[in-house]
Chain A
Amino acid sequence: MSLSETFGAKARRQLLGSIPVTVGLVILGALVAASALAQLVAPYNPKRATGGINEPPSLTHLFGTTGQGQDVLSQFLYGGQNTLWVAFSIAVLTTLLALIVALTAAYFRGWVDDLLTLVTNVFLVIPGLPLVVVLAAFLPPGPLTMIMVLTITGWAFGARLFRSQALSLREREFIAAAEDVGESRWRIVAIELLPNMGSVVAAYFVNQVIFAITAQASLEFLGLGDGGQITWGSMLFWAQNSSALIRGAWWTFVVPGMAIALTAFSLALINNAVDEIGNPRLRADRLMRRAGVRKPSATLMTPVKRDA
């Protein structure tokens, strides 16, 4: 499960060769490229009314217009830009925070570990959305608030995941060997532990992008985003607010909604395939199936200790 194993040449060939990954990469690549080039390819100013109200898709407005007469295609492109960089930042920050907490716990052990685990579990059990709503309501709306609030509320599961991974790695021989030759504990954490957590961290990061996109959209849908900024979530907010549903203007919510769902789906596809290649048990299972062996084979699960 080391980084070199996951991204070794053979694994890379498998990764690129599998259909789900190709589909995922193509969808994701198209969405990212379209958003990145919004300034060049968007046909209209996304904030101006450039057509009639709730016009269905046509040649002049490929994705139709909103209840305020704005071009949905242009909004989708610019919205992608604003949505994706915020989501990406949140994913980076939550992954870092989770790593710091987990490795600190694994390094110090003892009461520091107990305390950090307790804090993690409290954050895990408090439901996300209401807390985020209260936090966001007290802070000025905008992308920075969004990033801050979702980082504070989004790291806990990663900390638990990374900690249990670090603890199981600590039992391996190469850590014992490093301790025996007298390496410092910080060196063991940074040089021995961290690189070996690569695939778990990568998978978690991808999941966090999905979390960030949907959580951000949820908040904006509730009206807690920055009203002046165009994002996929705010497009859905305006669609709901201008009663697009009961006026039959399906394109105003299907376009941003599908954009969110497709981004999340493509990331999930990539993640699943990486998991399969990084996890020899799942891979062996597929080979067995191909060989025509139907008997359920032993799939050992990683036990997760349920603790307080």
Chain B
Amino acid sequence: MYYIAKRLAFYVLAAFVAITVNFFLPRLTPGDPASTIVATYSTSLNAESLAALKAAYGLTDEPLLQQYLSYLGNVLRGDFGRSLSNFPAPVMAVIGAGFGWSILLGLTSVLLSFVLGSVLGAIAAWRRGGWFDRLTPPVLLFLGSFPYFFLALLLFYVFCFKLGWFPMGNAYSSVNPPALNLAGVGDILMHLIAPAFTIVLVSLGPWTLNMRNAMIGVLSEDYLTLAEAKGLQPRQVLLSHAVRTALLPNITALGAAVGAVFSGQLLTEIVFTYPGLGYSLMRAVSAVDYPLMQALFLIITLSVLAANFFVDTLYVLLDPRVRTGGEA
């Protein structure tokens, strides 16, 4: 329990740092971007919204500390300000719809690549020195060298444009999200496959190599020799003795990878015009919509922190050494 409390305290601190950076960034960067933003929008907004905008960027007479405190209060209430490109819609309303789609795509692809990578790594280690073991690392190294969005462009071109196997973009065919019946789910799946496949391909490498190396370490342990000596089936030795132990370092890496995969996912979404947070991010960048950008930064950071915390908790459940209060 102490371990979990310690991790929680750390993530709260990290969240606090992110929120603070977000607050001070427009106020401290050289060239006074805040005034530029307000000047840009001064003609297109009414007086009330302009005042709100000025307050959001610290162009008021309020002392900095008070601004900071009221900003913290807003964030805690989930109020991230208003979007400039779809004024006066609150940023949260603009992001809300995309959030679900990003979670769907992210969970699908991270879980798939984790499971697939662990299986491949276990096979490579089990058949160490075989053709599979020798072929896998360089191939994965090559795929991992692709920036996410470039592989996305390639796959989009081949599978969606040339071959027409998958739809060209969006998360569903109809104008509104389909009902969750068989046809609707099938439709959503068809739109999910191509972007998820991209993310899986690029992110597969580390899982496989980590798992392979961990397995090789575990395979030389005495208790595996014992398991073999007492006459267990090789399959049983592999699954319940070797894989179970070797999976732990990979689960540790899962938490660390969530952030990186999510960053890559945002770009993949843009290529496939998948309506997730990546799409919002691109719109925010091209419309120079600072509040939207900053809110996206916070939302994504907080989600990644939450995911990390979840993985940590999972780790405690899986590793008895941490659970019994050993040194964490």
Binding site for B on A (CB under 8 A): 20, 118, 121-122, 124-131, 133-135, 137-140, 210, 214, 217-218, 221-224, 236, 239-240, 245-246, 248, 250, 253-254, 257, 260-262, 264-265, 268-269, 272, 289, 294, 296-301, 306-308
Contact = CB atoms under 8 A, between A and B. Distances in A.
A222 B267 contact: yes
B17 A122 contact: yes
Given A130-B263, A130-B300, A268-B141, A253 B153 contact: yes
B216 interface: yes
B319 to A, nearest CB: 10
Contacts of B113: none
B255 to A, nearest CB: 8
Interface string B118-158: 00000001001100000001100110111111100110110
B154 A223 contact: no
Contacts of A257: 146-147, 150, 153-154
Interface string B212-254: 0110110110000000000000000000000000000000100
Interface residues of B, number: 70
B260 interface: yes
A294 B17 CA distance: 51
Given A127-B263, A223-B286, A299-B213, A210 B293 contact: no
Contacts of A296: 125, 128, 216, 219-220
| A-side interface mostly | helix
Contacts, number: 166
B161 A130 contact: no
A118 B13 CA distance: 10
Given A138-B33, A265-B145, 20 more contacts: A20-B138, A125-B11, A125-B305, A125-B308, A127-B263, A129-B267, A137-B288, A138-B290, A218-B148, A257-B147, A260-B147, A261-B150, A265-B142, A268-B141, A296-B125, A296-B219, A296-B220, A301-B213, A306-B252, A308-B7
Given A126-B18, A222-B282, A268-B144, A306 B267 contact: no
Contact of B128 (A124, A250, A294, A300): A294
Interface string B148-173: 11100110110001000000100000
Contacts of A250: 157
B200 interface: no
Contacts of A139: 29-31
Contact of B153 (A210, A240, A299): A240
Contacts of B33: 138
A127 B154 CA distance: 25
A272 B142 CA distance: 12
B278 to A, nearest CB: 9
Contact of A217 (B137, B147, B285): B147
A245 B150 CA distance: 12
19 contacts: A122-B13, A127-B259, A127-B263, A129-B262, A129-B266, A130-B281, A133-B293, A134-B293, A135-B25, A137-B293, A217-B150, A221-B147, A257-B146, A257-B150, A260-B147, A261-B142, A269-B138, A294-B128, A301-B217
A128 B153 contact: no
B35 interface: no
Interface of B: 6-7, 9-11, 13-14, 17-18, 21-22, 25-26, 29-31, 33, 125, 128-129, 137-138, 141-142, 144-150, 153-154, 156-157, 161, 168, 213-214, 216-217, 219-220, 252, 256, 259-260, 262-264, 266-267, 270-271, 281-282, 285-286, 288, 290, 293-294, 296-297, 300-301, 304-305, 308, 328
Given A137-B290, A236-B149, A245 B141 contact: no
B25 A240 contact: no
Contacts of A126: 14, 17-18, 259, 301, 304
Interface centre among A122, A139, A217 (most CB of B within 10 A): A122
Nearest to A23: B138
Contacts of A223: 282, 285-286
Contact of B294 (A122, A134, A269, A294): A134
Contacts of B216: 296, 299
A121 B149 contact: no
Contacts of A298: 220
Contacts of B296: 130, 133
A210 B141 CA distance: 12
Contact of A261 (B147, B270, B300): B147
Given A138-B25, A296-B220, A127 B153 contact: no
A253 B150 CA distance: 8
A295 B177 CA distance: 55
A81 B6 CA distance: 47
A269 B217 contact: no
A125 B14 contact: yes
B147 A127 contact: no
B145 A261 contact: yes
A272 B11 CA distance: 34
